[in-house]
Structure 1
Amino acid sequence: MGERGRLMTTPADALAPAIDASAAGSDTRRHSPSRVVAVSSRRRRRGVPALLGLTPFAFYVVVFLAVPTVVAVGSGFFDGAGHLTWSNISGLAEPAIAGSFFGAFFLSAVTAIVGAVAGAALCFAMLRSRPGGVARSLVDSASSVLAQFGGVMLAFAFIATIGAQGLVTVLLRNQFHINIYENGVWLYTVPGLILPYLYFQIPLMVITFMPALEGLKPQWLEANATLGGSRATYWWRVGIPVLLPSFLGSLLLLFANAFSSYATAAALVGQANNIVSLQIRQALISETVLGRANLAGSMSLGMLVVMIVVMLGYSALVSRTARWQR
């Protein structure tokens, strides 16, 4: 019986080394140097068209973004004769320049906060609507269009509507004896820019914050209910902590959007020059500003530093939000 058992197991035992050798040989062929080189060569050949496809975009970034930024910022470190100087940087502390940065911060912060709160409220209102339905499609389409509607056209629309002689202004004054400009022409001041800026800030908030709301999983609400939690507990313990990074990231994006806007303010405020982008224009078209040449470059450097800090914060918050949306 023992001999028979040994005879029965002998074929399997005999085949085992051959199977191991075959597997080893197959693994060796799979990882042989020539095969690795061939695979790497094919991958490189497939990557060449992709790199060539990025060439137009890389050219655009270098020629129209990188080079002008370097030239503009670098000019702030030289005087009119081309000598290295720090006087332009110290000029940022002058009351007129510091006041323009404060005006830009005020305008950007107010429009970002109001736009973020109003946009988030609109997103919550649209959350129960059917995706792809009429209401959702209408809001998404309008937000996509209005978020890009700015500049001179937006300024003209507000001047024609609620300007000093606008349609709504004249109607209120003649029919209802309401003068919205009784205390001055507020639309053409920096505080008056808040209303036009909200026109594109709120739609931008809808575009950026709606995906975060849609990323809330129904299983989280069901788990909260199973554990005996109320809807308020769900939002306080789950919803708000999950949405807060996305909300703050969208808030920073709105701040950066308002801080870098130029055309709408240039068309409405004009020569008031109470925000930094208009001060840069004034420095470029005038021969000297505060007795310093190339002061526009130093103001551009200040704006660039602010934008870098804001966008780094935005990137950190977006990466934190991405962990909940996987």
Structure 2
Amino acid sequence: MTAALTRADVAPVASAKRRRRAPGWLAVVPLLVFTAIAFGLPAFAILDGAFTAKDQVTGATSYTGGNLTTSLQGPYLTALIGSVKLSAISAALGALLGLPLAQAVVSSRSRALREAVLTASGVLANFGGVPLAFAFVATLGNAGVLTVHLGLTDKGWDLYSFWGLVLVYLYFLIPLMVLTITPALDGLRVQWREAALNNGATGVQYWRHVALPVLAPSLLGGLVLLFGSAFAAYATAAAMVGSAVPLVTLQIADALSGNVLVGQENVALALSLDMVLVAGLVMAVYLPLQRRSARWLDA
């Protein structure tokens, strides 16, 4: 009798728990719907358009891989390679310069300095587009303040070039690296350094054999994140260099504005698909590194 009553009592409780869980799942539905509309539909439109060609005589459409083939040839391929090269160099320099800056912030005893640097990094990491381009043109352009006073033009300086664009990108990539790597630096245990020093290790040996191996996933993850941010940037480069530096984002803008050959109207969508594939590869590398770093630092 007791067992029967126990089962009878448990069944309503389990049923009540299931009923309480249902609203939690329903609360996710609006987010899923929004994601499907905001991301799913554009992704489907890009995928469909990238493989669609229109006959100029009959107006009929058909599926073809010609757009993708075109996007990987000639000036389009040059622009894609240029974007990858620019993003890789900018990300590497941003990570290299951002790491010691973040370490200086973490090791500082001044709480006000730490908060000021992190707040400024949050602002600067999201400062881009035409305002950033104008700021650099006014400062380091052909008639910029520093260019005139320091005679940079006579020394071969050119802001409207590949390396000038790298310098501009570092303006927001270094703060982004500071924001990305600071939590990982905070996760380094003081006991690890003390143990290394007690065993006769120098500061350089500690960083080489202890800190950097632990930070490696976070560093690589930050590098990938910086690469993706630079790869997707458009407005700053468009306002500064125009077509002087071949970039895939600028090629997409030209194609969308109709600056393409007849019958290649969907090349912009094919270029966009190329960028999506590159971004997918970036995320495929970033997410495992982020999880591995979290396991190390939370241990």
TM-score (norm 1): 0.82
Relative to 1, partners in 2 of residues 1:46 and 1:283: Cα closer, same or farther, differing over 3 Å?
closer
1:106 to 80, 85, 96: 85
Alignment of structure 1 residues 65-84 onto 2, 5 Å: 65-80=39-54, 81-84=60-63
Indicate if the aligned counterparts of 2:254 and 2:260 stay in contact, CA closer than 8 A.
Answer: no
Equivalent residue, structure 2, for 1:201: 173
Aligned-pair identity in percent equals 40
Instruction: Give the CA deviation at 1:25.
Output: 7.4
* Contact 2:221 2:289 (C-alpha < 8 Å) held by counterparts: yes
Q: Structure 1, unaligned stretches of length 5 or more?
A: 1-20, 173-177
| Paired positions, count | 293
- The alpha carbon displacement at 1:299 in A equals 0.8
C-alpha distance in 1, partners of 2:270/2:145?
Answer: 42
- For 1:289 and 1:191, how far apart are their aligned partners in 2? 31
Corresponding residue SS for 1:148 = coil
Q: What is the alpha-carbon distance in structure 1 between the residues aligned to residue 174 and residue 237 of structure 2?
A: 18
Q: Distance in 2 between matches of 1:62 and 1:44?
A: 21
- The 2-side partners of 1:257 and 1:239 are apart by 26
1:167 is matched with which residue: 145, 161, 180? Answer: 145
- 2:281 is equivalent to residue 309 of structure 1: yes
Contact 1:216 1:239 (C-alpha < 8 Å) held by counterparts: yes
Native 8 Å contact 2:258 2:265 kept in 1: no
Deviation at 1:76, TM superposition (A): 1.2
1:228 CA displacement: 4.7
**CA–CA separation in structure 1 for the residues paired with 2:204 and 2:34:** 49
Aligned-residue Cα RMSD (Å) equals: 2.4
CA contact (8 A) 1:87 1:292 kept: no
**Greater radius of gyration (CA):** 1
Moved more, 312-321 or 61-70: 61-70
For residue 16 of structure 1, what is the aligned residue in structure 2? none
> What's the CA shift for 1:232?
3.6
Note the C-alpha offset of 1:82: 1.8
Q: Distance in 1 between matches of 2:280 and 2:144?
A: 39
Residue 34 (structure 1) shift? 2.6
CA distance in 2: counterparts of 1:197 and 1:98, whole angstroms: 22
Question: CA contact under 8 A between 1:245 and 1:321: conserved in structure 2?
Answer: yes
Amino acid corresponding to residue 194 of structure 1 in structure 2: V
Aligned residue in 1 for 2:117: 139
Q: 1:134 offset after TM fit, Å?
A: 1.6
Q: How far apart are residue 211 of structure 1 and its match?
A: 0.4
- Change over 3 Å in CA distance of 1:266–1:185 after alignment to 2: farther
For residue 152 of structure 1, what is the aligned residue in structure 2?
Answer: 130
**Contact in 1 for aligned 2:162/2:245 (Cα 8 Å):** no
C-alpha offsets along residues 89-134 of structure 1, whole Å, 9 cap, x if unaligned?
A: 1112322111001110111011000000100010121221137x12
